[in-house]
Structure 1
């Protein structure tokens, strides 16, 4: 898996997780990159990347542009952050296809 140095704001990315330890049942989540983020580390803030789930992005608009009052109406915000150290878990289209080919070979 290629670790990316940058993400493009507004572009679609993917995260793939597996339901089982054998890595045979994948779940693919589609995300839209919103921009850099600062995560609360154990002793200091760390750089990160903020993404919004694609369904919410298209239904509700860009999370960063929603009024704060609307953001508080969500029981669980439709966003996820990845620290800069964990950016390899976020895949572009080519990375997703490669990961799915690896899955296909296992299945």
Structure 2
């Protein structure tokens, strides 16, 4: 669901800190850089580093990753704000590549 108007998904070379003060770990940064550029969630990493940190830690466990995608993308809480469109696009692209077996 990427568009030509989005920035290139090259990703951070150093730990990133979100407005909330959360930081992307070195481990998560390496994991992020290991992903193919077309599905690299760099906007998500900038805005929600805790998501990328957890994704990197669980990446080796197919069921844990699938469950985490579900928890992110399927809301069971009616008061949940949801993600910005560009973050949602990245997460859906990454999930699709993961579920199709192109990565993971």
TM-score where L is the length of structure 1: 0.30
Give the alignment's TM-score, normalised by structure 2. 0.30
Structure whose alpha-carbon radius of gyration is higher: 1
Larger fraction in strand: 1
- Bigger helix fraction: 2
